Amino acid sequence: MMVCLRGKVLSQMTRQAMWFRRALMGLLVFAMLATTAALFERPLLAGQRGFAPFNRRLTQTEEHWIERTLASLTLDEKIGQLFAVDGNAVFMNRESEEYRRLFHHIVDNKVGTVILFRSDVWASVILINRMQQSARLPLLVSSDLEMGPGMRLDDTLWWAPNMAVAATGDTAWARKQGEATARQARAIGINWIYAPVADVNNNPDNPVINTRSYGEDPQMVARFVSAFIEGVQTEGALATAKHFPGHGDTATDSHIGLPVVDVSRERLDRVELVPFRAAIASGVGSIMSAHIALPQIEPEVAPRVRPITETDRYATEVPELTASNAQQITLPGTLSAKILTGLLREDLNFKGLVTTDALSMAGIAARFDSGTSAVRAIKAGADIVLKSPDIDAAIAAIRQAVSRGEISRLRIDESARRVLRAKAALGLNVRRTVPMDEVDRVVSSPESQRIAQEIADRSITLVRDERKLLPLDLIQKKRMLCVTLTDDEDRGVMLPFMSELRRRELQVETLAYDNRSRFGEDDVTRLQSQLEHTDVVILAIAVRTRSGKGTVGLPGLGDALLKQLTDSKLPMIAISFGNPYLLQAMPEVPVYLAAYSSVPISQSAAARAILGDIEIGGRLPVSLPGLYPRGHGIRVARKAK
């Protein structure tokens, strides 16, 4: 009996010991897996615990991957890594010309980077994963997300521009924007963000930077640039300071011409280079060059404008210089070794990736063919050739330059190694695709939407209120006439603004004029008729910065329209939904607000500001010459509930 009982007790103890050992082994395995995940699976998805910042120190494993991979590449494959092919992530049949072109460059030319333009979220995720699976090496996937995901992804939110962020006066919002942008981008599969704009907009006539800049003060721009970079790279994406060495003091758009910034090195150090130095100090991973001529830094004369051929797929043709502006144009910074190597690499000690701006822009393509511009960019010090009009011709030209000794193999290795380092830092050597089941948890999250709206709300700047109209007194329902003046062809651009007003059951009538309008006698008669039944006029001016437009001035019919409105003697509120400098063209306006953009969140913020739903507290990040200094803004408290 005792023996039998003892055997049962021993058997029970044995089973408990075995269970304990198994549990302990399970815990050890779990710990090992958790450690492995922490070490090697960091880049699974932005926002997940353990997601590593971009500018971290690389591990020995990652360094070994870089060198092993570089050694395995042929010369052609190394050259391919230095190119970025463009595409739109929308539905494409696999036999379509656009699809075949894109995958030709990924599979055959072994390009290292893809840049996405107008796209959709789900199409982007599917296409990016497919491209990553098709490529021999993981791809850098880039996009211009200066104003949040909506700038390129149609089904996401378009944020207010940098100048609006700066109008809040708080760099914390730039950091939050960077974090939110990076989290959403990485969830989609975009790992390289072409932002922030580090240009100092000290030229009110600048047609292409304008509200894309944080402002005119170099130190303030530097602070906001650093904050945005820290936000992006803390969330594991690669940020880009652009456009080096500074595109702010130009009145020419480099998409349609070659701007000249005729300033000394001392001036560059004092103004243009300040934000770029701050970006480098903040560990920015990449810098984008500007297609601008700096004759006091680079005196070599650029070729004259050439005919654009059919092979230059994206090149923009511009007219030749006329007698009135026949100043000799020097070599653009993108193709200058004095600027990209001497100034950026050696003087500023930048170690990261240097990418060109799009070589299809007229600042380059109007004077250089695809092969010549690519060769000159690499010789100048660029690592990435972005959006060449003819990638096949450009790759062939670089291969030929290497074969004749014009470009050394070491120079190709140098840039290819930097590209691979960026990929390793992003964790692409471990995982290059993104999980589909997390996309709609991260992208357009309520928190990111709240941050975007908060920035827009805080940015609204009351520049002038001579009649003390704001906030509007709506105790007695007022009849409003909202007149839209836009330099685009979209007369419905202000619909979100109107909708916000009408939610209060206000009586709002509308008139809209675009760049096709002539404002003839019939238009005058109709306007005067509506003014007779109006208590308050709101002039909504949607003049925004847009690449290739070449101007951000008041549309041609603006003067005639303004005369009719001011002659009516009615209370009038002018709101600039874009270029804040427009007050210079209409100094007689009694009430003027700057909303900095016409994106829906800015329109909503402006409507609620004039109604007193939110406080008006923005400050001008730029001066309005002859009118108001930088930092000016009239604070108006929100209405008591």
Looking up tokens 């670089």 gives 398
Beta bridge mates, 133 = none
Strand ranges (E), 372-478: 385-386, 461-465
Q: Is residue 28 part of a domain?
A: no
Name the percent of the chain lying above pLDDT 70: 87
Identify the CA nearest to 455 among candidates 187, 155, 121, 181: 181
Is there a single domain that holds both residue 428 and residue 477?
A: no
Amino acid in position 71: A
Strand ranges (E), 153-271: 192-193, 240-244
Q: Please tell me the predicted confidence (pLDDT) of residue 551.
A: 63
Domain that holds residue 68: 60-447
Tokens linked to 224: 């906001």
CATH code (residue 65)? 3.20.20.300
Q: pLDDT tens-digit profile of 593-638?
A: 999 999 999 999 999 999 999 999 999 999 999 999 999 999 999 9
CA distance 274 to 217: 10
Is there a single domain that holds both residue 482 and residue 597?
A: yes
DSSP assignment, residue 105?
I
CA distance 450 to 385: 37
Is there a single domain that holds both residue 465 and residue 442?
A: no
Is there a single domain that holds both residue 429 and residue 479?
A: no
Q: Is residue 590 part of a domain?
A: yes
Q: What are phi and psi of 493, to 5 degrees?
A: -60, -30
Which of 447, 470, 497 is the endpoint of a domain? 447
Read off the pLDDT band of 312 (50, 70, 90).
Answer: low
Q: Give the list of residues 6+ apart from residue 630 with CB closer than 8 angstroms, or none.
A: 215, 216, 217, 620, 621, 622, 623
What's the whole-number average pLDDT of the chain?
A: 88
Q: Is residue 438 part of a domain?
A: yes
Is there a single domain that holds both residue 280 and residue 375?
A: yes
CATH code (residue 470)? 3.40.50.1700
Read off the pLDDT band of 377 (50, 70, 90).
Answer: very high
For the beta sheet containing 83-87, the strands, ordered from the edge strand earlier in sequence to the opposite edge, are 192-193, 140-143, 113-116, 83-87, 385-386
Helices (H), 426-543: 439-442, 446-459, 495-502, 521-531
Mean per-residue pLDDT for 140-151? 97
Beta bridge mates, 508 = 480
Burial of 423 (0-12, 13-18, 19+ CB in 10 A): buried
Note whether 118 and 152 are within 8 A (CB).
Answer: yes
Amino acid in position 447: E
Task: Tell me the pairing of strands 461-465 and 479-486.
Answer: unpaired
CA distance 336 to 494: 43
Read off the pLDDT band of 520 (50, 70, 90).
Answer: confident
Which of 418, 447, 476 is the endpoint of a domain? 447
Q: Give the list of residues 6+ apart from residue 510 with CB closer than 8 angstroms, or none.
A: 481, 482, 483, 484, 494, 498
Beta bridge mates, 386 = 84
Name the percent of the chain lying above pLDDT 90: 74
Q: pLDDT tens-digit profile of 457-512?
A: 999 999 999 989 999 987 666 789 999 998 877 778 999 999 999 888 788 999 99
Q: How many domains does the chain have?
A: 2
- Between the two ends of the chain, the Cα-to-Cα distance in Å is 86
Is there a single domain that holds both residue 157 and residue 293?
A: yes
Handedness of CA 72, 77, 81, 85 (dihedral sign): negative
CA distance 197 to 215: 10
